[in-house]
Amino acid sequence: MICKFSVENFMAFSDKIELDFFANGNIKRFDFNSFNVGNKNILKTIGFYGPNNTGKTCTLLALINLKALMLNEYHENFSNAFAKRGDVTSFEVEYYINNRFYEYSVSYNNRTKQYIREKLVLKTYDESSNSNIRIFERSNNGLTWSGITQNVKNANISRLFSLAFPFMIVFEDVDNSLMKQAKKDYVDFANSIIFLKMDAPVDISKTINLIQTDLKAKRFIKEFVKNCDLHIDDFGFDNNVVSDTNIDEQLRIAMNNPAFIKESLKLYSKHNGFRVPSVFFDSIGTIKLVALSGYIYEALNKGKTLIVDEIDSSLHHILTKSIVAMFNNMLNTKAQLFFTTHDALLLDLKSMFRKDQIWLVDIKDQCSSKVTRMSEFTSRSENGIRGNEDVTSYYLKGQFGSIPTPDLFSSLEEAVSNE
C-alpha cells in the first residue's frame, strides 16, 4: 500500500508535489474507506480530478516510473522539459508491505542514467518504540547499509557502488536477515503496483491468462462481466472458437492486424441465446470491462495497488461508481485503487468519498502543475465545504480550481464561412 508520495522535476511537475494517503483523523465519515494497519489508517481509493492537460496522468505516471526505477526496468526520460531545472528527478515514497512500513527515496539523473542518491528506512509507528532503522543509504559520497559485513563488501563492492543500478536489486547477502527481509519487501512493493490506461487499447492478455490458470479468477471475471453488461446472458472462455453467426470477414480483418491477440477469439458472450466471440460483437466499453476485470481481480485478491488512468473511459457512470465502491467496501482489506477521471458525478461526498480521497490537479504556472487535497478546503475557508455536501456544482463552477471555458462560436464561424 502507498502511504505517502512526492516527486520533483517530473514531466508536468517542476516544483515538488507531496501526496499524503493516510486518512485524515479529523474526518469521521466512512471509516471503512481506509485500512487500519500498524496503528495507522491508509485510504483505499484516491481520485484525481482536473481539466485536460493539467497533469492528472503525470501524477499516475510518476508512480509507474518510480516502480521502473526500483526494479531497474525500462523507462523514458521524465524530467520537466520546460522549467530548466536540470536532469535530476527526485522521488520519495512511504509504503506498507508485509506488515511493515518503509520510506524509500531516490534521485535519478535522466541524462547520465544514474541513481545519484538512494535511501531506504524501516519505519515504526508503534507508540512504545519510535526508532526507525536505516536499511541503506547511497550517494556519490559513499555507501552504508545495516549489518554490513566485510566478506559481502569485498565480494560485491563494484556492483554495490555502481550508480547504474538500484542498490536493492544488486545487493545479495543471505546471512543478513534484516537486509534480506527489506529486499523482499522492496521487490514485493514495487511489483504490487499495476497500471492500466483505459483511454487507449487495453491489454486483455491478463484476463485471458487468469481465466486459463485460476479457477477462482475465472468465476470472478464471468460474474463481473455479466453483472456489468445488461445484455449478456453468459460470458466465458472456450478453447474451441464457436460462433452462432458467420465471423469469416471479421476473422480475416483481425488476422491481418499484427497486434491482434488470437487467444481473445476464445472469449465468448451469449446474447439472446446466441453465442458469439466477444471481441467481434461486444462494444468497446464491454471489451474494456473484460480487460479491467483481470486487473481488478489481481488487485483485490493479491493486495495490489491498481492505478487506472481515465477510469470512466467508455463506461457508464454507474459502472464506474460501482467499481470504485468495490475497493471502498469493508470486504476489501488489502487493495488500493488510484484513478483519474473527468466524471464529475463521482464527486460524491454524501455516499461515496471522504474529502481526503479527492485530489485536484491544476496548472500552477507556465512550467509546473500543482495538486491539492479537497480536505484542504475546510468549512472555515473562503471556498470551504463540509464533509457531506453535493460538491459537483462547486467543482463545475471552478470553486476548486480552473475549469475549461471554451468559446467555440468563432471556430464555428470559421468552419461554416464561405471565405
What confidence tens digit (pLDDT) does each residue in 33-64 have? 999 998 899 999 999 998 888 889 999 999 99
Question: What are the grid coordinates assigned to 124, written together?
Answer: 515504526
Between β-strands 114-123 and 133-139, what pairing exists: parallel, antiparallel or unpaired? Answer: antiparallel
The CATH number assigned to the domain with range 1-192+303-419 reads 3.40.50
Q: Is the predicted pLDDT of residue 155 greater than 60, yes or no?
A: no
- Give the global pTM: 0.90
Q: Is the predicted pLDDT of residue 401 greater than 80, yes or no?
A: no
Radius of gyration for the chain, computed over Cα atoms and rounded to the nearest angstrom? 24
In 146-283, DSSP assigns E strands to: 193-197, 234-237, 267-271, 274-277
**CATH 3.40.50 region(s) of the chain?**
1-192+303-419
Average pLDDT over residues 107-131: 88
- Give the residue among 181, 166, 30, 37 at the shortest CA–CA distance from 104: 166
Between β-strands 45-49 and 358-365, what pairing exists: parallel, antiparallel or unpaired? Answer: parallel
What confidence tens digit (pLDDT) does each residue in 73-98 have? 988 889 887 778 889 999 999 999 99
